[in-house]
Structure 1
Amino acid sequence: MSSNLTALLLDSRRTGKPADPLDPALVPTTAEAAYAIQNETVAALGPVGAWKVTPMPAEGPLFASPILKAGVYQDGATLKAADLPGIAIEVEVAVTIGQDLPGKPGGYAPDDIKPALASIHIAIEVLATRYKDRKAVPQLAGIADLQSSGAVIVGPAVSAADLPEFGQQAMALAYDGVEIKTTPGNASTENVLASLAWLANHAAARGLPLTAGTVVITGARIGPADVSPSKVSAEAPGLGSVSFNLV
């Protein structure tokens, strides 16, 4: 049976009306409860087309969320701002999983993940929210809302045979050809592989294992950045460019 918060979030997706005000009694009290709401949302709206995972922190928990297949797009897509309440943009490194990763005795380690990667990509994540203000709700309420995922636009595939050092991966975000934000680098390749190993174990434990062809975005390197209707593009040396039209 779905939780009351799941019902509220699904109604918001259906009607476009934000879940506001949010009854404090509906806020998950544990990450496990938030993930249960994610699973209920996937059961209602799935299938899963991608995942998002935060970088491995120095201390504290990682968080992850499935992204609905309906929200996964390729370079050049057109999205409607009206369908993405509270929209914001993040630029990320994405990977495509090259083989199924079911539950494994003892779990996956980073050394297991590198050979399981088919390709790497530059990607744009589009944040949206089922709340009036995603920044104003408790963290676990945001986790329950699929970590505010709205869509992901995946750039061209680059071979994962020799991973670059992502800690030095420069990226730039532009609106209508005008550069908005840049970064000289962020989470390292070692960090990315560690978070992907954690995700493989986490997803399998939830009954939603990573499968061949699944895209995983690995945490914001630029953003969140506000945006209004425009052509949104991002580029990264060695990874190419990706764009979409927001109307």
Structure 2
Amino acid sequence: MNRREFIAALSLPLFGCGGRADPSEPWPEGAVSLSYDDGLPSHLDIAAPALTRHGLRGTFFVTWTNIAPRVQDWIAVGRAGHEVADHTVHHRCDLQDIRASDYFEREIAPMEAWLDRTFGPRRDRDFAYPCDVTDIGSGSATVQMLRFEHRLRRLGLHSARTSEGEPNAPQWVRQHPYKMQALAIGYDTRSLDDVFRYLDRARARRQWAILVMHDIADTPADGTMTIRDHDLLLDHVAESRMLCRPIGRVLAGIAKTRAVVSA
């Protein structure tokens, strides 16, 4: 298989990258996914229209209690090519007083069932930890995390995203699909320059940057990105040579890379 055939097998655009493509590095200019947490009104009113204007698609990790008042609008977002993914029913951040079996039965399984009914069982199946909390049940932090991963896998989820860490190497994602790292704008940093440097590192290393955004508003606040900065970020991404896809689509490309390398 030559280089052009290899890239075509990934269903990714062929960027000029100089030299042969390394199968362990499927993005010659790096990749970026734009993710939005909680299913907030500003995602419908500001973020999704802005993505459309820029010709981009994002991943929206939604919480049922937030999206229920405008559920039909959220269905339209998913059918427009964005990924609508699981962020639990109630967005609980304290898991100490709930059994693991009850948490997954009450918080995650109902969202998965709704997503299946709405977008079909062959949809991308990704998850974001509310508040980055994984300390469910007894045992050490490692045991708790493994318990969380095991139950996510049993529910058929393909990945889980945190909200901290450097850009992801393909090999890291293959080995740790339930520990995907990200940069949360408004929490990890409020500086757009920091975000651009994060993207630059992903591009230089041929890695995958995942950005996390919460509320989008006129004025800055904790956890909030301004409308101006959001537009500037989308301008930057649209003008870059980085692959920009929803999380599930990038994961599908990584799976295809593994299949091609194994063949």
TM-score range, shorter chain: under 0.3
The structure with more strand, counted as a fraction of residues: 1
Length-normalised TM-score, structure 1 = 0.24
Length-normalised TM-score, structure 2 = 0.23
